[in-house]
């Protein structure tokens, strides 16, 4: 194994285009915290120019230009030290369109400084009951960065369960937190597993349509039963989204209707001139 291979194994870097020199490690205090800093470089022969799309077949198409020096990438901790990668990224010049462009790597997203591994580690930490401050400290990033990751996660664009819907589920609305759109949240309950499948922060028809549209039509066609309340617009909406499912008003809402009707009648009869007044009031 070469020096580069060892360093990459330690840092969990799988990109084959990143290289390290012998003296790549430096330990320095950054903002008062001892930090391990690795210097590396990224280079390869690009297949095509991302600006004009021409295929790279040799020196007449794309040539190596200079390096974009010291791009900071926050890695996960090594032996509990904050760890930083200073990466020199190769720049290229396309002879067809005269544009330059920078090499890219899969260890970090474009224009970001936090490596994908660190991002994953923060996401896992956010699933525990811990403060953003502690999580930020543990991962060696700022509270603002942790907050941004949390915000991205809560944007509700993730498709649950790898895009698989339960074949039988119930929907309803309920009073949740104050920041929910339209004051009520929307809940989906898996009948087979008897647990909550997902909660959406809006019960508006438009938002529910958008929510379920993210699941492929073939998946929606597999849904067999949906139970819900007696709100008419939902029936139209669900029929459009799930044309093969049977829509069932659930027991709970029917019983509530009967109970409310009974109570209304009882109250209307409950006046003192009625000979059954006491019975109606007490029972
Ligand atoms: Zn080009």
pLDDT at 273: 83
Q: In the predicted model, what is the mean pLDDT of residues 51-57? A: 87
Q: In the predicted model, what is the mean pLDDT of residues 4-19? A: 90
Centre of ligand 1 to C-alpha 58, Å, is: 13
Q: In the predicted model, what is the mean pLDDT of residues 15-34? A: 89
Q: In the predicted model, what is the mean pLDDT of residues 63-91? A: 90
Asked if 223 and 247 count as a contact pair (C-beta separation under 8 A), the reply is: no
- Residue (of 99, 120, 106, 104) closest to 51 by Cα position: 99
Centre of ligand 1 to C-alpha 109, Å, is: 22
Centre of ligand 1 to C-alpha 41, Å, is: 23
Any bridge partners for residue 199, and if so which? 187
Q: In the predicted model, what is the mean pLDDT of residues 102-129? A: 90
Centre of ligand 1 to C-alpha 115, Å, is: 28
Q: Is the pLDDT of residue 4 over 90?
A: no
Sign of the CA dihedral with 109 first, then 115, 120, and 126 last: negative
**What gap in Å lies between CA 55 and CA 216, rounded to an integer?**
35
Instruction: Give the DSSP H or E segment for 44.
Output: none
Centre of ligand 1 to C-alpha 8, Å, is: 32
pLDDT at 133: 93
**Three-class DSSP category at 14:** coil
Centre of ligand 1 to C-alpha 48, Å, is: 8
Cα separation values, 178 from 91, 108, 181, 258, 261, Å: 49, 36, 9, 31, 31
Pick the CATH number of 160-249 from 1.25.40.20, 3.40.50.300, 3.40.190.10, 3.30.420.10: 3.30.420.10
**Three-class DSSP category at 250:** coil
Centre of ligand 1 to C-alpha 51, Å, is: 5
pLDDT in tens, 152-200: 887 766 677 778 899 999 999 999 888 777 788 999 999 999 999 998 8
Return the minimum-mean-pLDDT range out of 38-52, 70-84, 247-261, 269-283. 269-283
**What gap in Å lies between CA 96 and CA 108, rounded to an integer?**
29
- Residue (of 135, 151, 145) closest to 73 by Cα position: 145
Centre of ligand 1 to C-alpha 65, Å, is: 13
Centre of ligand 1 to C-alpha 106, Å, is: 22
Return the minimum-mean-pLDDT range out of 102-106, 177-181, 230-234. 177-181
Q: Is the pLDDT of residue 149 over 80?
A: yes
Centre of ligand 1 to C-alpha 98, Å, is: 6
**What gap in Å lies between CA 89 and CA 98, rounded to an integer?**
19
Centre of ligand 1 to C-alpha 108, Å, is: 24
Q: Is the pLDDT of residue 115 over 70?
A: yes
**Residues of the chain above pLDDT 90, percent:** 44
Q: Is the pLDDT of residue 75 over 80?
A: yes
Scan for tokens 């369960």, then name that residue. Answer: 161
Centre of ligand 1 to C-alpha 217, Å, is: 39
Centre of ligand 1 to C-alpha 92, Å, is: 10
pLDDT at 58: 82
> In whole numbers, what is the pLDDT of the chain averaged over residues?
89
Residue 191's CB is within 10 A of a number of other CB atoms, namely 16
Angle ∠(26,28,31) on CA atoms, nearest 5? 150
pLDDT at 156: 61
**Residues of the chain above pLDDT 70, percent:** 98
Centre of ligand 1 to C-alpha 69, Å, is: 22
Q: Is the pLDDT of residue 77 over 70?
A: yes
């Amino acid at each position: 194994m070469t020096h580069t291979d060892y360093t990459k194994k330690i840092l969990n870097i799988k990109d084959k285009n990143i290289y390290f020199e012998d003296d790549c490690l430096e330990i320095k205090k950054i903002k008062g915290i001892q930090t391990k800093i690795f210097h590396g470089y990224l280079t390869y022969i690009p297949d095509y120019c991302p600006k004009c799309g021409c295929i790279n077949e040799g020196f007449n198409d794309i040539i190596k230009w200079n390096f974009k020096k010291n791009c900071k990438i926050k890695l996960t901790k090594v032996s509990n030290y904050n760890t930083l990668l200073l990466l020199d990224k190769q720049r290229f010049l396309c002879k067809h369109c005269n544009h330059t462009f920078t090499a890219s790597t899969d260890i970090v997203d474009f224009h970001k400084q936090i490596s994908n591994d660190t991002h994953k580690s923060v996401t896992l930490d956010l699933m525990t009951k811990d403060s953003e401050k502690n999580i930020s400290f543990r991962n060696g990033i700022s509270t603002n960065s942790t907050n941004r990751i949390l915000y991205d996660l809560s944007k509700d664009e993730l498709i649950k369960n790898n895009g698989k819907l339960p074949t039988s589920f119930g929907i309803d609305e309920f009073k949740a937190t104050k920041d929910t759109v339209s004051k009520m949240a929307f809940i989906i309950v898996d009948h087979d597993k008897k647990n909550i499948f997902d909660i959406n922060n809006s019960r508006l028809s438009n938002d529910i349509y958008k929510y379920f549209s993210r699941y492929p039509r073939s998946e929606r066609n597999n849904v067999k039963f949906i139970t819900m309340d007696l709100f008419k617009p939902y029936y139209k909406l669900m029929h459009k989204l799930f044309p093969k499912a049977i829509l069932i008003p659930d027991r709970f809402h029917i019983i509530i209707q009967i109970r409310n009707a009974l109570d209304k009648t009882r109250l209307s009869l409950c006046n003192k001139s009625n000979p059954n007044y006491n019975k109606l009031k007490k029972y």
